[in-house]
Amino acid sequence: MQDEKIRVAIIGYGFVTRHFHIPLISSVEGLELVAVGTQRPSQVGLDVSTVKVLSPEAAAVSDAVDLVVVASVNESHFKFAQLALEAGKHVVVEKPFTPTLQAARELADLATRAGRHLSVFQNRRWDSDFLTIQDAIRNEDLGEIVHFESHIDRYAPQVPDAWREEPAPGAGTWFDLGPHVGDQVLLQFGLPDTVTASFAQQRTGARTDDWFTVILSYGQLRVVLRGAQLVPGFGIRFLVHGTRRSVVKQGQDIQEHQLLAGMTPEAPSFGVDPDCAYVFDPGNHPGERRAVQATRGDQSQFYVQLEKAIRGEGPNPVAPPEAVALIALLEAVSTSAAEGRTVALPLTEHERAAFEGARRTHL
C-alpha cells in the first residue's frame, strides 16, 4: 500500500459528509474516495463513474475499500464501525464516537484485535481559534494557568425536525457540541479530577438539552465549557487567565464557512483567521491589550496524519484511548447534570494510562 492510494468509503451522505469529509479527503494526495454508502442513493451528487454508490452495509465490507469513514446518524456508529473492523478495514468514526462508554470500549478492543487503525474525526483540534490559544499558552508567558474558558454557541431559535433533537442516547446539544470543546480540553490539559455540570432546555419545544455549562477541576485550575443554541450575539470563544497574563479570543474558526462557500483546503486563504487574540498584562495601563495574530487552521491535517498512520509513518491523530476518554467525559457530564452532583470520570487505571500515552504523541 506504500505506493498506492488508500481507498476510502464514506457511510452516510449528510451535511458533514458533503461539506467536511469529502473536501478534506479530496485534498490529501494519498487518499481516494471510491464509494459512498447510503440508503438514499438518489441524493448522491457525485460523479458515479468514479465513485460507487452502495448500501451502507456493502460499503463497510467492500473488498475495494481500505478505509471506512462512518458519518451516519449517531445511533448507527457502533454497528457500521464494527462491520468495517471485522472486515479488516481501517475506520474513522464521526463524533460523537459512540452513544455509550461500553460501546466505545468494545470498538477500541475490536480495533486492537483486528490490528487496524480506529480514529475519531476530531477535526476541531485544527481550528484556528484553538491553535491560537495553544500557541499563546506556550509563547506568551501567561504564568500558571488557573482559568480556561471555552464557549461554543449557536443561534438556532427554532427547534429543527431532526434526529439530534429527539430524546435518545447521544442526542442533545451536549453530545453535539461537547465533543468539540471536550476533546480540545482533554488534549490541552489531560483528564480532569472531577466534573460538575448543568443542562437546560431553553427553546420552546425543546425535547433535549440545548444549553450547558460544565466545570472541570484540575487541582487549582478550573476549566469552564459553555454551549447554547440561543445566543444571538457572539461573545468570546476562549478566555484564559494565568498568574501573569490573560488572553482572549473572540472570533470563531472560519473553515466551516469557507467549506460551505466551496473553498477547498488547497486555497491559499483557507483557514486564515483575520481575528486576532489579545493578551492583557496587568503591568500595562488598565484595559491595554496586545494583539496576537491568529494561527492558521487546517482541518485537513486530520486526514493527512491518518494517511501517515495507516502507512506506518506516524501516530494515529485521534487514537482509541483518546476516543474512549472523551466518551467517559461526555457520560460523566451527563450524569452530573442529571443527578446534580460532582462526578469523576469512570475510567480504569489502564484506560487512564493508555489515554496519557496517546496524548503524549501529540505534544
- Mean pLDDT for the chain? 95
Question: Are domains 6-121+303-319 and 124-297 of this chain identical in fold?
Answer: no
pLDDT exceeds 70 at position 164: no
For the beta sheet containing 238-242, the strands, ordered from the edge strand earlier in sequence to the opposite edge, are 194-200, 211-218, 221-228, 145-153, 238-242, 246-249, 277-280, 289-292
User: Does the structural domain 124-297 have CATH classification 3.40.50.2000?
Assistant: no
Cell of 359: 496524548
What DSSP string describes 168-190? STT-SHHHHHHHHHHHHHHHHH-
- Least confident interval from 26-30, 142-146, 233-237: 233-237
Question: Chain-centre distance of CA 312, in angstroms?
Answer: 23
- Where in the chain are the domains? 6-121+303-319, 124-297
User: E strands, 51-129, where?
Assistant: 52-54, 67-70, 90-93, 118-120
Reported confidence tier of residue 80, pLDDT bands at 50, 70, 90: very high
CB-based contacts of 92: which residues, under 8 Å, 6+ apart? 67, 68, 69, 70, 119, 120, 121, 306
Q: Considering the entire predicted model, what is its pTM?
A: 0.94
Query: Mapping DSSP to helix (H, G, I), strand (E, B) and coil, where does residue 228 land?
Result: strand
Of 208 and 339, the structure prediction assigns the larger pLDDT to 339
Mean pLDDT to the nearest integer, 294-314: 98
Reported confidence tier of residue 168, pLDDT bands at 50, 70, 90: confident
CB-based contacts of 61: which residues, under 8 Å, 6+ apart? 83, 84, 87, 89
Mean pLDDT to the nearest integer, 328-354: 98
CB-based contacts of 4: which residues, under 8 Å, 6+ apart? none
Continuous segment of H or E residues that includes residue 114: helix 101-114
Task: Please state the φ and ψ torsions of residue 90, each to the nearest 5 degrees.
Answer: -75, 150
Count the residues in the chain.
363
CB-based contacts of 45: which residues, under 8 Å, 6+ apart? none
Mean pLDDT to the nearest integer, 67-92: 97
pLDDT exceeds 90 at position 171: no
CB-based contacts of 342: which residues, under 8 Å, 6+ apart? 194, 195, 196, 217, 336
Single-letter code of the amino acid located at 266: E
Architecture of domain 6-121+303-319: 3-Layer(aba) Sandwich (3.40)
pLDDT exceeds 70 at position 1: no
7-17 per-position pLDDT tens digit: 999 999 999 99
CA distances from 212 to 100, 176, 191, 209, 291 (A): 19, 11, 20, 7, 30
27-78 per-position pLDDT tens digit: 999 999 999 999 988 888 777 678 999 999 999 999 999 999 999 999 999 9
pLDDT exceeds 80 at position 328: yes
Is 240 within 8 Å of 247 (Cβ atoms)? yes
State the Cα angle at 312 between 310 and 314, rounded to 5°.
90
CB-based contacts of 46: which residues, under 8 Å, 6+ apart? 22, 36, 53
pLDDT exceeds 80 at position 125: yes
**In the chain, what percentage of residues exceed pLDDT 70?**
98
pLDDT of residue 338: 95
253-292 per-position pLDDT tens digit: 999 999 999 999 999 999 999 999 999 998 877 778 999 9
CB-based contacts of 361: which residues, under 8 Å, 6+ apart? 315, 319
